[in-house]
């Protein structure tokens, strides 16, 4: 018996083959469009994170595009085996789908969200605003743009159809399929491992691409004793987002009256050593400062926030400077390392002006980032008599205990650089809750905390009376004795650590999911 391939079967075979090549073309286009997500997201800082990024980029976008082909185009090849109908329908669907992907990418760029039910209200609001502003020119442009895009799809579909026999002879299906399958399997395998180990360079990429649901296997791993689920849950509680893209500063509207008779000076020694004692000042023990560099330390003093937030604060003037100024107080800021940032310009003065204002007690708030020799030049009995004084310094890690001297009583047994801004504002008469604008607290308050918390690079650092606790980016915890500096293998209080993480995260602007 001789089996002869019918014209219908031959056409269906050609249409299916054409569909695969058409899908492949659109996979490459979709991958190019999806590069927008990568360019507008924090890049991984490890080789493994970068490998995962490329693997999931190619495999996830390729998978979404191919699934669209299987669901919408492949059935047409069998149900309606007419080349013109299939090509036209596929071109329209591809043009719409890729336009939707581009819209999602633009939405992610602006708001950090994807098209979903949860973001429907945001999209509706934006659409209403756009519709109100669009004229016929804008609508005409978008219609023309879509027609050009649709025309490209139709031309590409016809070009592939005319060359389908030649393309069928090329044995590219197996290597291309192998590549995408390898990317798919490797990306999900890496994510299972990263999720179990809370490996942030990979885990924080979870929401980068639309409809992304990377594989997780915590329950399965725990079942075969490959994962301690209790330890995992504890470490997960201690994680926080280190890539702040937005900030609520302050968290609530802030207004508090200040006393124009009050005067405060903060002097931070950035060069040389802080003297062991200064006449009229009391030394405060256990005052900690945590910063990667001097510029970061200056921002911490002025904002009362750890370096975790400094990049997001770029366009915000410090409340420590802005609030007194708006109420008519004289504010003087000096420091060669303060930089030329516009937000500091209204408050910056030269060294001679800074010294003159302090000598004449004309400044209500004076903040100086000075050298040890300048401290000697400016410090005198009149300064102590006229001002509430805070003197500290910057020293390189690992010497986190920075030293602090004041001429007023400090009610905290442990304090940090983040406490300086709330303390200065309260000394000026502002009784607003420091939680609104700082992770620190006023040192003249009677409320006492058993710890201070800050960030250093990707680590959270928490100081108690006897220990320095470091929480790494994957939630692992290391404890060090403050006196010896040696690592201590004590049981950590997870409740305190959880409270500290929540305190740090208070100013992070939440994304809509």
At 320-373, the pLDDT tens digits run 999 999 999 999 999 877 766 677 888 999 999 999 999 999 999 999 999 999
Q: Give the Cα separation of 198 and 34 in Å (integer).
A: 25
Least confident residue range of 22-36, 126-140, 219-233: 219-233
Residue 376 C-beta-side C-alpha neighbours within 13 Å: 9
3-state secondary structure 23-75: HHHHHHHHHHHHHHHHHCCCCCCCHHHHHHHHHHHHHHHHHHHHHHHHHHHHH
Section 470-497 average pLDDT: 74
Residues of the chain with CATH 3.40.720.10: 264-446
Residues linked to residue 366 through DSSP beta bridges, in sequence order: 265, 332
115 with 131: CB under 8 angstroms?
A: no
Section 409-438 average pLDDT: 92
- Which pLDDT belongs to residue 1? 41
Residue 456, pLDDT > 60, answer: yes
At 50-66, the pLDDT tens digits run 999 999 999 999 999 99
Supply 17's token pair: 């083959």
CA 49, 51, 54, 57 torsion-angle sign: negative
What distance, in Å, lies between the first and last C-alpha atoms of the chain?
62
At 133-148, the pLDDT tens digits run 666 677 677 788 889 9
Map residue 460 onto helix, strand or coil: strand
At 236-275, the pLDDT tens digits run 554 555 555 668 888 888 888 899 999 999 999 998 888 8
Q: Which residue has the higher pLDDT, 110 or 373?
A: 373
Task: Please choose, from the candidates 441, 461, 457, 459, the residue with its C-alpha nearest in 3D space to the C-alpha of residue 449.
Answer: 441
Residue 227, pLDDT > 60, answer: no
Supply 21's token pair: 């090549």
Residue 461: φ, ψ to 5°: -115, 125
Section 2-26 average pLDDT: 81
Supply 468's token pair: 């320095």
- Which pLDDT belongs to residue 82? 87
Map residue 90 onto helix, strand or coil: helix
Average of per-residue pLDDT values in the chain:
83
Residue with tokens 């976008």: 61
207 with 118: CB under 8 angstroms?
A: no
Q: Give the Cα separation of 402 and 463 in Å (integer).
A: 13
Please list, in sequence order, all residues whose beta carbon lies within 8 angstroms of the beta carbon of residue 193, skipping any fewer than 6 positions away. 199
Burial level of 209, CB count in 10 A (0-12/13-18/19+)? buried
**Confidence label for 304 from pLDDT (cuts 50, 70 and 90):** very high
Pairing of strands 459-463, 467-471: antiparallel
Fold of the domain spanning 264-446: Alkaline Phosphatase, subunit A (3.40.720)
- Which pLDDT belongs to residue 133? 64
Task: Please choose, from the candidates 161, 197, 192, 243, the residue with its C-alpha nearest in 3D space to the C-alpha of residue 505.
Answer: 243
Q: Which residue has the higher pLDDT, 218 or 177?
A: 177
Residues linked to residue 348 through DSSP beta bridges, in sequence order: 333
Q: Which residue has the higher pLDDT, 494 or 1?
A: 494
Please list, in sequence order, all residues whose beta carbon lies within 8 angstroms of the beta carbon of residue 98, skipping any fewer than 6 positions away. 26, 29, 30, 33, 149
- Which pLDDT belongs to residue 511? 43
At 175-189, the pLDDT tens digits run 889 999 999 999 989
- Which pLDDT belongs to residue 95? 93
């Amino acid at each position: 018996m001789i089996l002869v391939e019918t014209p219908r079967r031959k056409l269906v075979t050609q249409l299916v083959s054409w569909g695969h090549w058409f899908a492949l073309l659109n996979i490459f286009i979709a991958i190019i469009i999806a590069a927008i997500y990568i360019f507008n997201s924090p890049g991984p800082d490890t080789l493994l994170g970068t490998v995962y990024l490329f693997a999931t980029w190619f495999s996830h976008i390729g998978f979404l595009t191919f699934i669209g082909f299987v669901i919408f185009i492949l059935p047409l090849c069998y149900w309606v085996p007419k080349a013109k109908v299939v090509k036209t329908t596929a071109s329209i669907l591809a043009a719409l789908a890729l336009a939707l992907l581009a819209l999602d990418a633009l939405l992610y760029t602006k708001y950090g969200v994807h098209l979903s039910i949860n973001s429907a209200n945001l999209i509706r609001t934006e659409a209403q605003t756009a519709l109100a502003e669009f004229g016929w020119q804008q609508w005409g442009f978008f219609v023309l743009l879509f027609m050009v895009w649709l025309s490209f799809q139709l031309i590409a579909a016809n070009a592939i159809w005319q060359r389908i026999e030649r393309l069928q002879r090329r044995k590219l299906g197996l290597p291309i399929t192998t590549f995408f399958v390898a990317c798919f399997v490797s990306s999900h395998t890496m994510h299972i491992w990263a999720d179990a180990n809370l490996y942030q360079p990979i885990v924080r990429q979870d929401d980068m691409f639309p409809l992304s649901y990377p594989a997780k296997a915590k329950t399965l791993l725990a079942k075969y004793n490959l994962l301690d689920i209790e330890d995992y849950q504890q470490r997960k509680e201690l994680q926080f987002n280190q890539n702040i893209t937005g900030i609520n500063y302050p968290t609530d509207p802030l207004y508090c009256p200040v006393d124009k008779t009050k005067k405060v000076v903060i002097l931070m020694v950035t060069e040389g050593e802080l003297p062991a004692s200064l006449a009229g000042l009391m030394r405060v023990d256990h005052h900690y400062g945590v910063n990667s560099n001097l510029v970061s330390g200056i921002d911490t003093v002025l904002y009362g926030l750890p370096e975790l937030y400094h990049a997001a604060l770029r366009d915000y003037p410090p409340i420590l400077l802005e609030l007194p100024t708006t109420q008519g107080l004289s504010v003087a800021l000096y420091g060669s390392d303060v930089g030329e940032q516009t937000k500091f310009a209204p408050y910056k003065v030269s060294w001679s002006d800074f010294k003159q204002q302090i000598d004449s007690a004309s400044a209500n708030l004076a903040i100086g980032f000075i050298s040890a020799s300048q401290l000697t030049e400016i410090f005198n009995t009149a300064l102590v008599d006229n001002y509430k004084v805070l003197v500290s310094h910057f020293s390189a890690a690992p010497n986190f205990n920075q030293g602090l001297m004041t001429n007023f009583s400090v009610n905290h047994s442990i304090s940090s650089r983040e406490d300086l801004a709330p303390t200065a504002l309260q000394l000026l008469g502002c009784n607003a809750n420091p939680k609104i604008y700082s992770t620190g607290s006023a040192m003249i308050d009677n409320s006492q905390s058993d710890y201070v918390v800050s960030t250093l690079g990707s680590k959270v650092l928490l100081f108690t009376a006897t220990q320095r606790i470091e929480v790494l980016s994957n939630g692992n915890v290391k404890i060090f004795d403050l006196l010896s500096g040696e690592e201590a293998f004590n049981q950590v209080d997870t409740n305190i650590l959880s409270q500290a993480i929540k305190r740090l995260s208070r100013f992070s602007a939440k994304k809509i999911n």
